[in-house]
Amino acid sequence: MIDPKIVDDLARRAAEAAPAGMGELQKDLEKNLRAGLSGLFSRLELVSREEFDIQSAVLARTRSKLDALEKQLAELEDSLRDKSKPS
């Protein structure tokens, strides 16, 4: 999931862009932006870079194991084919 600090930082920066002297409006704007951005990011089902890298590594290991199993199966099939051929 997206780091809440990023959402807070985005909301704070956007609120600071509001005209000076509108302190209460800035606070409300920041609060509403934080809620809106959090909701948006959760609906987008974004993941952190760390989680993505972990899942990529898991997928690579799984792919490697699958390749090894496919090779082993092909060798077994060849072995069975050789044994079943008439001599």
Per-residue pLDDT tens over the stretch 2-32:
677 887 787 777 777 777 666 677 778 878 8
Instruction: Parse the chain into domains and list their residue ranges.
Output: 1-46, 49-87
Contact assessment for residue 66 and residue 54, using Cβ atoms and an 8 Å cutoff: no
CA dihedral 41, 45, 48, 49 (to 10 degrees): -120
Reported pTM = 0.51
Q: What is the pLDDT of residue 87?
A: 63
Q: How confident is the model at residue 61 (pLDDT cuts 50, 70, 90)?
A: very high
Tokens describing residue 79: 């072995």
- Which of 13-22, 32-41, 72-81 ranks highest by mean pLDDT? 72-81
